[in-house]
Structure 1
Amino acid sequence: MEPVVSVRPLLAVAVAGLAALAVLLLNTRETLRDAVSPLAAMAMFAIIASMAPTVLAGGTVELRLFEILPGIDFALRADALGMVFATVSSLLWLAAAIYSVGYMRHLHEHAQTRFFACFATSLAAAVGGAFAANLFTLVIFYEVLSLVTYPLVYHHEDAEAWTGGRKYLVYLMGASKSLLLAALALTYQIAGSLDFVEGGLLAGNAAPAALLMGIYFCYLFGFAKAAIMPMHAWLPAAMVAPTPVSALLHAVAVVKMGVFCVLRVVFHVFGTDLVAGLGLGIATAYLVSFTILMASVYALTRDDLKARLAYSTVSQLSYIVLGAVLASPVAMVGGIIHIAAHAFPKITLFFCAGVIYCASGKRNVSEMAGIGRRLPWTMGAFFVASLSMIGTPPTAGFVSKWYLALGSLEAGETAFMIVLLASSILNAAYFLPVSYVAFFGTGPPVSDATVREIPMMTIPLVATAILSVSMGLFPGYFLALAEGVVR
C-alpha cells in the first residue's frame, strides 16, 4: 500500500506543543490554564485515532519536512509500532491531565505553570518519537524529552530533588551523548541512511560482525530510558518528582520511549534475522532476564510505595525487550502489546500512590494499615491494577504475558518462560501485600476522618483501572497493530 502523505502526524505533535504555549500565556488565569491540557489531550487522541484505519489496513501516514544531509531527513511516519506508543501516550495524557490538576491544587504546589507547560511539551516529544520516520528524528525527540522532563524531576527544588534530577540527566544525557552519537555515526557510515527499513536498515550489509555487535550494544545502553541494568539507577532516583510526573512520564512516556527506541533498533535498524544471526537475541534475552528478576527482588525489599513501583517498572520494561529479541512472532507480539498492558495498570498504581499521599501523607506500605477502608475506590483500583501487573486473567497483563510465554516455547527457549513465571510470583509477592495491609493490616490504623477520596484524582485512576481490564477483555486493537509489525 502506498503511504498516505498527510500533515496529521505533525498536527498530533503540534497540539501538545501549542498546549504548552497556551499554558504559559494563561499563567495568571488558573482555571483556563488548567483546562488546556485535558482539551489538548482529547484533540491529540482524536488526531491519532483518525490515522488508525489506515495503519490497521497495513498502510502508513507520512510527512517529510526537510533534508538535513543526504540520507538524513527530518520526517514523521505513523506506522503500526508507532501507533501503539502514540495511542497509549495520548489516551493516558487525558487521564493524567485531569489527575494532575487535582493533585497540584490539593497540595498547593508551586510553579504550576512551569509544571503543566513541561508536562505538555514532554507529550509532544513522546508522540514525535512515536511517529519518527528515522533514527535522526527519533533521537531528536528522545533528547527533547530528556531535557523537558528534567524540570519536572527537580520540581520540588529541595536537596533530594536536585540529587535525583542530576542523576537523571547524567544517565540519560551522558549515555546519549556518548553511545548514541557513536551508534548513529557508524550506522550512517555503513548504510548511508538513517531511515527505518522493514527487515532492517543494516541487514545485508557487509560490515564486520564485531562492528555490528558494538553498534547494537551502543544502541541498547545508549537508549538508557529503557532502564536495562546497569543503566537503571536514574529511574528510582527520579521518583522524587511529583506523583503525576511519576505516573505518566515514568510509567508511560519516558520509559516507554526507551523501550520503543530499542524495538525500533531491533525491528527496523538491525532486523530480527540479523539480531539472531549475530547471536545478539539470546545474549540480550539473558541480560534483560537478569534485569527482570533482580529489579523484582529490589522491589520486594522497598517499603516506600513509589520506590517499589519504580523497581517494578525497571523489571516490566525488560519484558518488552525480551519479546522483541526472542525471534518468535508470538513473543514479538507479546513484547509490543506489553507497552500498553504495562502502561494502563502502572499509571493506575502511581495514581493510587498519589491519592494515598495527598489524603494521608503516607508513603510507606508499613504505615497503610486500614487505609483501604478510608480510600476504598483508590485501594480497589490498586488491587485491580496489581492483578494486571501479576498477569491474572482477564486483565491486560495476562494477555501480554500469555503471548510472551507462548513465544518463549515457540522459540524453544523454556528458560525464559521460567523467568516470566518467577517474575510473576515476585510481582504477587510485592504487590498483593499492599492491598492486604490496606484492607486487613494490623498496627496503627489510618482512621483520621480527614482521610477520604479526592474526586478529581480518584475518577481518573478508576478509569485507568477499568482500561486495565478492558484491554484484557478486548485486546484486538493492540494485537492487530502488533501483528502488523511482525508480519
Structure 2
Amino acid sequence: MTIATLMQLCLIIPAAGALFIVLSHRLRDLREGVTLFSAAALFAVVFQLFRRPDALDASPVILATPLPGLELALDLEPLGLLFAGIASLLWMITSLYTIGYMRGNREQQQTILYACFALALASTMGIALAGNLLTLFVFYEMLTLSTYPLVTHKRDHDALTGGRFYLGILVGSSIGLLLPAIIWTWHLTGTTAFQFGGILPTDTSKTVVTALLLLYAFGIGKAALMPLHRWLPEAMVAPTPVSALLHAVAVVKAGVFCIVKVVLYVFGTEILIGSDGLFILQVIAAFTLLCASLIALQQDNLKRRLAYSTISQLSYITLATAILAPLSITGAVVHIAAHAVGKITLFFAAGAIYTAAHKTRVSELNGIGKRMPWTMGAFAVATLSMIGLPPAAGFLSKWFMLQGAFQSGQLWVIAVLLLSTLLNAGYFIPIVYAAFFKPEDHVPDHAHGEAPLSMVVALSATAGLTLVLFFWPDLIVTIASRLGQGGVL
C-alpha cells in the first residue's frame, strides 16, 4: 500500500466510521463494535506509517485545489506523525472506556457522541497531516465544529452555556486572528506550504515578525493562552470521555501542536531569535502557566481542577517552544505525549469515580482509594507525571525544558518551571493523600467498588503508558531531538 493511500485512509477510516455508527444506531452492540473497529483500524494505518522508512520522503497528497495556487494537501513530517500516533492510540483506548461510561451512566444520545468522536478524530488526523496552512486551518475549524455537539451533549443550561463559550472563543479567535495571520503570511511569501526552518523572508522586519507571531499565538485558541482560555473549563460540562480525549488530547493537543508547527515550519528559529514577540510569548505563557495553577488550587470540582491544570500544562509546551533552545524544543515535543497519556488518565479516573461513587468534588474523595485502588492508583501515577517526578513521563519532558532554559541562559524560566512544579504538587498530592490515608466520610447507598471493567482496563492502560514512556522513550525523544536540532528523521 502506498504512503499516499495510507495518509488518505487516516481521514477516510474515522469519517466512514462516523457514517456506519449512525447507520447502526438501533443496534447498540454493532454501533460500539464499529467504534472499536474504526479506532483499531486507524491506529493500524498510523502504525504502518511509523514502520515505513520511506514515509517521510513521500510526496504531498493533493486533496483539492479550491483556488489557483491554494491547495488542500496532506504531507508527512516527524511532528505530525507523532501527533497522529498519539491521537489514534488514545482514541482506541478511549473508545473502550466510553462504552463502560455511557452504559454505566445510562447516557442519552450515545450514537451522536460516538459519531462526533469519529468525526473529531478525522479532523485531528487532518491537522496532524496538513501539508500547508490552508489545510491546517480547514481541519482546525472542522475539529471545533465536530466537537461542539460533544460539549453540549447533555443539552441542559450549563451544557449550552459552556458550548457558547467553546464555540464563541474558538471560532472567534481562529476567524479573527488565525485566518488574517495565514493570509498575511501568504501575502509575504506567496505560499502556505510548511517548510522546516520557516518560509518567511529573512529580511522580514522584526515588527512584522512580532505582530504575526502574536496573531498566531492567540489565533490558535485551542492552546488556551490567557485570556483566551475560558472555553476549556467551561467545556468540562461535557461527559467525562469527551473531556478525556478531546480536552486532554485531540483539541488541546491540536492547539499546542499548531503552535510548535508554526514556530518551526512557518517562522523558523533563525528569524525569531531576538524578536520582541518571542519574549512577549514567553511572558504570556509563563503567566498562564502560573496563574492557571493558582486557580486550580482553589477548585473543589475535580474536573475543573483538571481543566485548569491542563491550561497550565499546555503553557509548558508553548513556553518551552518559545525558548528556542534545541533541548527545550525536545522537551516541548516530549511533553505533548507525556501530558496526553497522563492527563487522559486523570480524566478517566474522574469519570470512574463519578460512575462508581457519584462523587465530583475533591472534598468528597477522602478514603476512596480503599474502595477504588486501581482507579486511584492510576490517578497517583498520572499525578507524578503532571508534577514532573520519576518514574513518570512528565519528568523527562520537564527535565529537557529545564536543560533548555539553562542552555539559553534564561534563569527566570527555570524559576517559573520550579515554582509551577511546587504548585502542581500543591493541588495534586492532597487528593492522593486524602484518597488513601483519610477515612471515607460518607458512602452513598448506591456506591460500589470499581467502575465497570472496561473503564478500569482503559485507565490502567494509560497509566501504564505513562510509565512506559519514562522507561522506553527512545522513539519520541528521537523525533523530538531531531526537530530541536533542526534535522529530519
Deviation at 1:68, TM superposition (A): 2.8
Alpha-carbon offset, residue 203 of structure 1: 3.8
Residues 1:410 and 1:203: Cα distance change in structure 2 (over 3 Å): farther
Range 362-371 or range 449-458, more displaced: 449-458
Match of 1:432 in 2: 429
Q: How does 1:376-395 map to 2 (within 5 A)?
A: 376-395=373-392
1:340-381 CA distance string (max 9 Å, x none): 010001000000000100111111011111111111100111
Give, in angstroms, the shift of residue 41 of structure 1.
1.3
Question: 2:471 is matched with which residue: 466, 473, 477?
Answer: 473
**Is 1:290 matched with 2:287?**
yes
- Seen in structure 2, the aligned counterparts of structure 1 residues 58 and 7 have a Cα distance that, compared at 3 Å, is closer
- The question of 1:451 aligning with 2:451 is answered no
Alpha-carbon shift at residue 451 of structure 1 (Å): 1.9
The match for 1:212 among 203, 209, 230 is 209
Match of 1:410 among 407, 411, 436: 407
Residue 360 (structure 1) aligned with residue 348 (structure 2): no
Question: Residues 229 and 311 of structure 2 are in contact (CA less than 8 Å); yes or no, is this contact kept in structure 1?
Answer: yes
Query: Which residue of 123, 138, 141 maps to 2:139?
Result: 141
For residues 69-97 of structure 1, what are the alpha-carbon distances to aligned partners after superposition, in whole Å with 9 as ceiling and x for unaligned? Answer: 34321110121010121111000001100
Pairs within 5 Å for 1:257-268: 257-268=254-265
1:268, distance to aligned residue in structure 2 (A) = 0.6
AA partner of residue 224 (structure 2): A
Q: Please, which of 210, 222, 227 is the counterpart of residue 224 of structure 2?
A: 227
**Aligned with residue 308 of structure 1, among 305, 313, 326:** 305
Query: Are residues 1:44 and 2:42 paired?
Result: yes
Bigger mean CA deviation after superposition, 356-365 or 435-444: 435-444
Aligned partner of residue 78 in structure 1, secondary structure: coil
**1:349 and 2:346 correspond:** yes
Stretches of 4+ moved more than 4 A in 1? 54-58
Bigger Cα displacement from structure 2, 133-142 vs 277-286: 277-286
Give distance in 1, aligned partners of 2:311 and 2:62.
35
- What is the CA–CA distance in structure 2 between the aligned matches of 1:203 and 1:399, rounded to whole Å? 35
Matched with 1:33 is 31
CA distance in 2, matches of 1:309, 1:86: 24
8 Å Cα contact 1:93/1:248 also seen in 2: yes
Distance in 1 (alpha carbons) for counterparts of 2:209 and 2:405: 25
Tell whether the 8 Å contact from 1:5 to 1:62 is kept in structure 2 after alignment: no
Give the AA of the match of 1:268.
Y
**CA distance in structure 2 between the aligned counterparts of 1:420 and 1:55, rounded to whole angstroms:** 37
Contact 1:368 1:446 in 2 (8 A): no
Q: Which residue of 2 aligns with 1:201?
A: 199
**Does the Cα contact within 8 Å between 1:13 and 1:127 map onto a contact in 2?**
yes
* Whole-angstrom distance in 1 between the partners of 2:34 and 2:346: 25
Partner of 1:322: 319
8 Å CA contact 1:88, 1:340 repeated in 2: yes
> What is the aligned counterpart of 1:374 among 349, 371, 376?
371
Shift of 1:65: 2.4
The alignment partner of 1:232 has SS state of: coil
Identity in percent? 46
Could you say what secondary structure the match of 1:6 adopts? Answer: helix
Tell me, in whole angstroms, the C-alpha distance in 2 between the residues paired with 1:135 and 1:55: 26
> Superposition pairs for residues 153-172 of structure 1, below 5 Å?
153-172=151-170
Distance of 2:371 and 2:59 partners within structure 1: 49
Report the more deviating stretch, 289-298 or 210-219. Answer: 210-219
Task: Give SS of 1:292's match.
Answer: helix
Structure 2 gap segments, 5+ residues each:
none
Note the residue ranges of structure 1 that are not aligned, 5 or more in a row: none
Tell me, in whole angstroms, the C-alpha distance in 2 between the residues paired with 1:316 and 1:296: 9
Q: Which amino acid aligns with 1:336?
A: V
Indicate the residue corresponding to 2:98 in structure 1.
100
1:3-40 Cα offsets, whole Å, 9 max, x none, are x8522111111111111011001010110101112211
Counterpart residue identity of residue 88, structure 2: S
**C-alpha displacement at 1:435, in angstroms?**
1.1
Question: How many angstroms apart in 2 are the aligned matches of 1:447 and 1:106?
Answer: 16
Partner of 1:247: 244
Q: Give the equivalent residue in structure 2 for 1:119.
A: 117
Could you tell me how far 1:484 is from its partner in structure 2?
2.9
Tell me the TM-score normalised to structure 2 length.
Answer: 0.96
CA deviations over 1:154-211 (Å, ceiling 9, x no partner):
000110001000000110001111111211111111111100011101142x443323
- TM-score, normalising length: structure 1: 0.96
CA contact 1:330–1:406 (8 Å) conserved in 2: yes
Task: Report if aligned partners of 2:339, 2:386 keep a CA contact under 8 Å in 1.
Answer: yes
Counterpart-to-counterpart distance in 2, 1:203 and 1:279: 18
Amino acid at match of 1:468: T
